Amino acid sequence: MHRLDSIKHTDLVGALAAGVLLLVTAQVSPAQSDVSKYSNKLAPYVPSPPHVVERMLEMANLKPGETIYDLGCGDGRILITAAQLFRAKGVGVEISDRLAKIASNRVQKLGLQNQVKIIHGDLMNVDLSGADVVTIYLLTLSNEELRPRLEKYLKPGARVVSHDFAVPGWKPTEVDRSSEHPGHSIYLYVMPAGKK
């Protein structure tokens, strides 16, 4: 168990915002609350702004033909941007059936189905060994829970980019808190050699 005093202030604020967001979502559309069958609901759905998405992919140095995994892909915006602007392949994992369908429909409408695949499922059950880049927008404690899987599956040189929340126990290669996206932080991590 984590002691309350060890939880970062931003996580407490984020958790409170998540609770409000989940309450609002439940009141608007109870039928959309389809995540209860999964044990790992690691973060609420809060989409990353387009300029932050592009900066995340730039920091990852995403190259044409590489494969990016977006864990908690929401409406698929990171994967679509990666395919369109960086000519990368993408795999998105989304626990919400509604959001997974939205992402899949967007991919189909844009004709990107040969580049982007959406998985409706739990990101804690996905094999990440094919990833060159992983993007996440989870809470710090969720990142800590995910970290052993990233260490297990990712090859040396693979990049992890986290929006707003650091990965505890890892030292970032780069942190961007520039005025171009005020209020947002982007953390880049590169998997070291000798992990496998």
Q: What is the mean pLDDT of the chain?
A: 82
The predicted pLDDT at position 70 comes to: 98
The predicted pLDDT at position 84 comes to: 97
- 79-112 burial by CB neighbour count: b if 16+ within 10 A, else e? bbbbbeebebbbbbbbbbebbbebbbebbeeeeb
Q: Is 167 part of any domain?
A: yes
Q: Is 157 part of any domain?
A: yes
Q: Is 32 part of any domain?
A: yes
pTM above 0.95, yes or no: no
State the residue for tokens 């969720």: 142
Residue 145 in contact with residue 42, Cβ under 8 Å?
yes
Q: Is 196 part of any domain?
A: no
Percent of the chain's residues with pLDDT above 90: 70
What confidence category does residue 29 fall into, taking pLDDT thresholds of 50, 70 and 90?
A: very low
Q: Is 137 part of any domain?
A: yes
Percent of the chain's residues with pLDDT above 70: 76
pLDDT by residue (tens digit) across 66-92? 999 999 999 999 999 999 999 999 999
Domain limits at 51? 4-190
Residues 6+ apart with CB under 8 A from 163: 48, 52, 56, 135, 136, 137, 184, 185, 186
* Number of structural domains found in the chain: 1
How many whole angstroms separate alpha carbon 102 and alpha carbon 93? 13
CATH number at residue 181: 3.40.50.150
Q: Is 195 part of any domain?
A: no
The radius of gyration of the chain from alpha carbons, rounded to an integer in Å, stands at: 16
Q: Is 120 part of any domain?
A: yes
pLDDT at 38 over 50: no
Q: Is 81 part of any domain?
A: yes
The angle subtended at Cα 13 by Cα 125 and Cα 59, nearest 5°, is: 60
Alpha helix segments (H runs only) across 48-139: 50-59, 77-86, 97-109
How many whole angstroms separate alpha carbon 144 and alpha carbon 142? 5
- 140-152 burial by CB neighbour count: b if 16+ within 10 A, else e? bbbbbebbebbee
